[in-house]
Amino acid sequence: MTATTDGSTGATLPPRAAAASTTDNRIPEAAGVQEAAVRATRRATDFLLAKQDAEGWWKGDLETNVTMDAEDLLLRQFLGILDEETTKAAALFIRGEQREDGTWASFYGGPGELSTTIEAYVALRLAGDAPDAPHMVKAAEWVRARGGIAAARVFTRIWLALFGWWKWEDLPELPPELIWFPTWMPLNIYDFGCWARQTIVPLTIVSAKRPVRPAPFPLDELHTDPADPHPYRPLAPAATWDGAFQRLDKALHAFRKVAPRRMRRAAMNAAARWIIERQENDGCWGGIQPPAVYSVIALYLLGYDLEHPVMRAGLESLDRFAVWREDGARMIEACQSPVWDTCLATIALADAGVPADHPQLVKAADWMLGEQIVRPGDWSVKRPGLPPGGWAFEFHNDNYPDIDDTAEVVLALRRVRHHDPERVEKAIGRGVRWNLGMQSKNGAWGAFDVDNTSPFPNRLPFCDFGEVIDPPSADVTAHVVEMLAAEGLTHDPRTRRGIEWLLAEQEADGSWFGRWGVNYVYGTGSVVPALVAAGLPASHPAIRRAVSWLESVQNDDGGWGEDLRSYRYVREWSGKGASTASQTGWALMALLAAGEKESKAVERGVRWLADTQREDGSWDEPYFTGTGFPWDFSINYHLYRQVFPLTALGRYVYGEPAVTRPKTGGGARLAEAKAS
């Protein structure tokens, strides 16, 4: 990234933070907590300001797991474009992620994961690693001990089927005729969350075509019994949902044999049009890697050659997901998060005392204003009359703005004193109006769509990995409520419904579930500041229960942490894990909002952040504290370790968030009038 300053040789200290400047970056043990917090805030501010790109945005690496890298190599092998440099660099990264027991995990410190290990193993075979090499033998033995390829998830077996390592007949059927299902019909494509929808549509073409490329080597060593690699799986009882959908899948397999060819060809062409219409300006699909990969394969199978503009742009977009490291390794990001990172960085810096008219904050606001989406996307299927106005997560994703980013961008823009306030007010008005229009019928908000809560998609045999629907969540709803409160809409009936929903969703122990961050610490860290911003007193029973829970799960070292296992083993892992900078930031943000600045818990948390800060003002955080799918797909946002501790420290040092309230006739009233 390009370091940006305001014209000096380094990031200039704002006046409010200047008093903290010292020639010694070390924080003495004897320093008081307030002094330590001020120094840590100054150092973190300098670090973050220096990371801004010249165009005004911030973006940290988005680290997931090695399936992204393995599937990238498999795609290139399938298309015949795998080159030595890419293979060598990807293999270097994949080998570096292997654990002592020979496995690969889906998150740092997590258990070995079968499908991840299989895909990593196959990728290393493509790179030339011999099956009798010690690290490969370890991996293969572990895979066989856990059921082999037959026990892997469907997506892994699809990749293997592309090369004849698995039989297409033993995979769930995905008919392309699905593209024609009307929106009132169960299992239409808009019943799926946007990420699943963008993946399933191209996969219907792949499923219909069933391509097989010559396998470059056998994979007998990954089967429990190479003579019988496709063991029989008994059906669940017909009276159960699983049994019913398994029998539906058998019926679809039978339909495949009799489906009229012209109808199937027409369905695949309709799916192809759907895919091409949703290709973004940068060539990607939805700003995320998996739909782009499957879309390229699907179009290739329909005869689009690699030099076709759609294909060329798609492949070029995939190259932009690559992060080349200093050691020559190449990591693939599943997605990129510049809008999310930029709005969070802006909030953190403003709350840490950077003046509202600081040139770098103004530049960030300019960039965010230019990213607002003003054309309809797939969300308009459910809200056809709602004018656009949201923000997406990525550089290019006009089809899928999301409610969470939109709420946080509005909160960020409110912290900046911009030279064109009318432009800001109009943008905020559009964003607030769009978010209000995306409220689900239960009063809460999902991430991308309205009322995306069908019970059927998750039942499909195909959907054995991660969430495929987008129901409302506490963290997204909290961010919207906090934004609406900042816009003066606390007493709007729609805001009140969101508050009521949040209060009803509180867990018995006082926490809230975190859908997009790990986990109960994230949910609670999101909800408490929102409820307080919306007028709930710190003495409210819900706030007191949340405070008690956070204090009860604070680690002995003073920080907070929560392992991803809490998504699977709630009772044992809720609020438990090694302390991390981002999760400590979330907990402190909640406690400070609840009026607990003078508490021992806050003092210990602030001290932990100050003591663990590195000399350059950053924090180290190998743990994954973000989620794509709870438990199944985890994310280490490399900027989380910076923005959330700085936000918490800034609020500790300077008090309430530095939100500029809307003026008469501003964004809130405009939004209120147009959304009514």
Residues ≥6 apart with Cβ < 8 Å to 54: 2, 4
Q: Give CA angle at 31 (27, 32), nearest 5°.
A: 130
For residues 254 and 363, membership in a common domain is answered with no
Does residue 6 register a pLDDT over 50? no
Which residues touch 517 (CB under 8 Å, ≥6 apart)? 475, 523, 526, 586, 625, 626, 627
Q: Which of 63-72, 234-243, 306-315 has the lowest mean pLDDT?
A: 234-243
Chosen domain end from 332, 353, 370: 332
How far apart (Å, rounded) are the C-alpha atoms in residues 452 and 195? Answer: 12
Specify which residues 112 forms β-bridges with.
105
pLDDT tier at 676, thresholds 50, 70, 90? very low
Assigned domain for 233 exists: no
Q: Which residue, chain included where needed, has tokens 């991430």? A: 447
Residue-wise pLDDT tens digits, 423-453 = 999 999 999 999 999 999 999 999 999 999 9
Question: What CATH number is associated with residue 511?
Answer: 1.50.10.20
Percent of the chain with pLDDT over 70: 93
What pLDDT shows up at residue 661? 58
Tell me what the pLDDT averaged over the chain comes to.
92
Burial code of 522-551, b = ≥16 C-beta within 10 A, e = fewer?
Answer: bbbbbbbbbbbbbebeeebebbebbbebbb
Question: Does residue 458 have a pLDDT over 70?
Answer: yes
Backbone angles phi, psi at 637, to 5 degrees: -80, 115
Same domain, 306 and 353: no
| Among the ranges given (38-42, 209-213, 242-246, 418-422), the one the predictor scored with the smallest mean pLDDT | 242-246
Among 332, 357, 387, give the residue marking a domain's end.
Answer: 332
User: What contacts 24+ positions apart, CB below 8 Å, involve 385-389?
Assistant: 386/433, 386/434, 386/437, 386/438, 387/430, 387/433, 387/434, 387/674, 388/430, 388/434, 389/427, 389/429, 389/430, 389/431, 389/433, 389/434
Q: How far is CA 451 from CA 193, 374, 382, 398, 470, in A?
A: 10, 22, 9, 20, 8
- 171 and 187 both lie in a single domain: yes
Task: Establish if 24 belongs to a structural domain.
Answer: no
Q: How far apart are CA 239 and CA 245, in angstroms?
A: 10
What single-letter DSSP state applies at residue 636?
Answer: E
Task: Check pLDDT > 90 for residue 388.
Answer: yes
Residue 593: exposed, middle, or buried by beta-carbon count in 10 A (0-12, 13-18, 19+)?
buried
Angle made by CA atoms 500, 505, 508, in degrees to the nearest 5: 125
Q: Is residue 661 part of a domain?
A: yes
Determine the pLDDT at residue 554: 98
Question: Does residue 450 belong to any structural domain of this protein?
Answer: yes
Predicted confidence band of residue 658 (pLDDT cuts 50, 70, 90): low
How do residues 13-59 score in pLDDT, each as one tens digit? 333 333 333 334 444 444 599 999 999 999 999 999 999 999 999 99
User: Do 204 and 349 have their domain in common?
Assistant: no
> Alpha-carbon distance 11 to 22, whole Å?
15
Query: How far is the C-alpha of 671 from the C-alpha of 665, rounded, in Å?
Result: 10
Q: Please give the share of the chain, as a percent, with pLDDT higher than 90.
A: 86
Q: 535 — phi, psi (to 5°)?
A: 105, -5
Say yes or no: 404 and 547 in one domain. yes
Please state the domain count of the chain. Answer: 2
Measured from the Cβ of residue 622, the count of other Cβ atoms closer than 10 Å reads 12
Verify that 412 and 306 share a domain, yes or no: no
255 and 400 assigned to the same domain: no
In a domain, 125, yes or no: yes
Residues 590, 605 within the same domain: yes
> Are 446 and 541 found together in one domain?
yes
Would you say how long the chain is, in residues?
Answer: 676
State whether 514 and 640 are in the same domain: yes
Strands 633-637, 626-629: pairing is antiparallel
Is the confidence at residue 667, as pLDDT, over 90?
no
| pTM score above 0.85 | yes
- Last-in-domain residue among 332, 354, 376: 332
Domain assignment of residue 108, given as a range = 65-214+248-332
Tokens standing for residue 640:
């989380």
Taken in order 324, 562, 518, 529, the sign of the CA dihedral is negative
According to DSSP, the residues that pair with 636 across neighbouring strands are 63
Q: Is residue 13 part of a domain?
A: no
Decide which of 601 and 251 is more confident: 601
Considering the candidates 341, 378, 404, 449, report the single residue annotated as catalytic: 404
The two tokens of residue 166 are 């698995």
Residues 6+ apart with CB under 8 A from 169: 253
* 644/666 same-domain check: yes
pLDDT of residue 25: 41
pLDDT at 20: 34
Which tokens belong to 56?
């005004």
pLDDT at 665 over 60: no
Q: Is 404 a catalytic residue?
A: yes
Task: Please state which of the ranges 213-227, 237-251, 288-302 shows the lowest mean pLDDT.
Answer: 237-251
Backbone region of residue 665 per phi and psi (left: phi > 0; alpha: psi in -120 to 50; beta: other values) = left
Q: Are residues 439 and 342 in the same domain?
A: yes
Mean pLDDT of the region 184-206: 95
Instruction: Report residue 245's pLDDT band, with 50, 70 and 90 as the boundaries.
Output: confident
Pick the range with the lowest mean pLDDT from 228-237, 548-557, 632-641.
Answer: 228-237
CA atoms in the 13 A half-sphere facing the CB of 672? 18
Nearest by Cα to 379 from 418, 430, 434: 434
Residue 3 has pLDDT above 90, yes or no: no
pLDDT at position 9 over 50? no
In a domain, 595, yes or no: yes
- Residue 35, domain member (yes or no): no
Query: In the block, which residue shows the tokens 């064109």?
Result: 420
Q: Per the structure block, which two tokens stand in for 27?
A: 């924080």
